[in-house]
Amino acid sequence: MFPYFYYNTILKRKYSEFIALSSLYMVGFVEVIKTFLLPVKFILHWFCVFTLIFFLQLFLFWTDSFIPGKGMLFDFAVSHFVYILFTSFPSSVIGTIVIFILRQKAYTENRLLSFLLLILTTCFIFFFGYINLNRAKKGRYPLITDRRIPFLSRHFHFLDDNLIYIEIVKNSSLRGIVIHERNNPPGLSFRESGEYISESSVLLMQPEGVAVEIPSESLFFPYLFGTEPFLGRFLEDVAFFNTDIQNLYNSSKRKFSLVILAGVLFSVSLRVFMRLTRWPVFNGIVIIFLFRLFFALYKIIQSELIIDISVSIFPVPRAFHLPAFFFFMVSLVFIAWDFLLAPGRSSSRSGRESLKR
Using the rule CB under 8 A, is 347 a contact of other proteins?
yes
Do 243 and 302 touch, CB atoms closer than 8 A?
no
Minimum gap (Å) between residue 9 Cβ and other proteins:
40
Radius of gyration of the chain (CA): 29
Nearest to 159 by CA among 206, 196, 112: 196
Using the rule CB under 8 A, is 215 a contact of other proteins?
no
Of 199 and 228, nearer to other proteins (C-beta) is 228
Of 72 and 144, nearer to other proteins (C-beta) is 72
Q: Which of 207, 226, 315, 317 binds other proteins (CB under 8 A)?
A: 226
Using the rule CB under 8 A, is 186 a contact of other proteins?
yes
Minimum gap (Å) between residue 292 Cβ and other proteins:
7
Of 72 and 116, nearer to other proteins (C-beta) is 72
Minimum gap (Å) between residue 227 Cβ and other proteins:
6
Using the rule CB under 8 A, is 176 a contact of other proteins?
yes
Tell which positions 254-313 bind other proteins, by CB under 8 A. 277-286, 288-289, 292
Do 31 and 109 touch, CB atoms closer than 8 A?
yes
Do 275 and 347 touch, CB atoms closer than 8 A?
yes
Of 126 and 294, nearer to other proteins (C-beta) is 294
Of 17 and 167, nearer to other proteins (C-beta) is 167
Using the rule CB under 8 A, is 56 a contact of other proteins?
yes
Using the rule CB under 8 A, is 209 a contact of other proteins?
no
DSSP one-letter string for 150-197: ---TTEEEEETTEEEEEEEEETTEEEEEEEEETTSSS-EEEEEEEEEE
Q: By rule CB under 8 A, what count of residues binds other proteins?
A: 61
Minimum gap (Å) between residue 282 Cβ and other proteins:
5
Give the binding range for other proteins (CB under 8 A) out of 57-65, 250-258, 300-308, 326-334: 57-65
* Alpha carbons 218 and 158: distance in angstroms, whole number: 8
Give the binding range for other proteins (CB under 8 A) out of 163-171, 314-322, 323-331, 336-344: 163-171
- Output phi, psi for 169, to 5 deg: -120, 115
- List, in sequence order, the alpha helices (H) in the chain: 2-5, 12-64, 74-79, 81-103, 111-137, 229-251, 253-269, 280-301, 304-313, 316-319, 322-336, 351-356
Nearest to 152 by CA among 220, 209, 247, 216: 220
Q: What letter represents residue 284's amino acid? A: G
* Alpha carbons 275 and 123: distance in angstroms, whole number: 24
Using the rule CB under 8 A, is 220 a contact of other proteins?
yes
Name beta bridge partners: 179: 164, 189
Minimum gap (Å) between residue 164 Cβ and other proteins:
10
Of 17 and 161, nearer to other proteins (C-beta) is 161
Sheet holding 202-206, edge to edge: 155-159, 162-170, 173-181, 188-197, 202-206, 210-213
- x/- map, 61-100, other proteins, by CB under 8 A: -xx--x-x---x----------------------------
Using the rule CB under 8 A, is 348 a contact of other proteins?
yes
Using the rule CB under 8 A, is 234 a contact of other proteins?
yes
* Alpha carbons 197 and 181: distance in angstroms, whole number: 22
* Alpha carbons 107 and 118: distance in angstroms, whole number: 13
Q: Which of 187, 252, 329, 339 binds other proteins (CB under 8 A)?
A: 187
Binding site residues, other proteins, CB under 8 A? 56, 59-60, 62-63, 66, 68, 72, 105, 154-156, 163, 165, 167-168, 174-176, 178, 180, 182, 186-188, 190, 192-193, 220-221, 223-228, 230-231, 234, 277-286, 288-289, 292, 346-352, 354-355
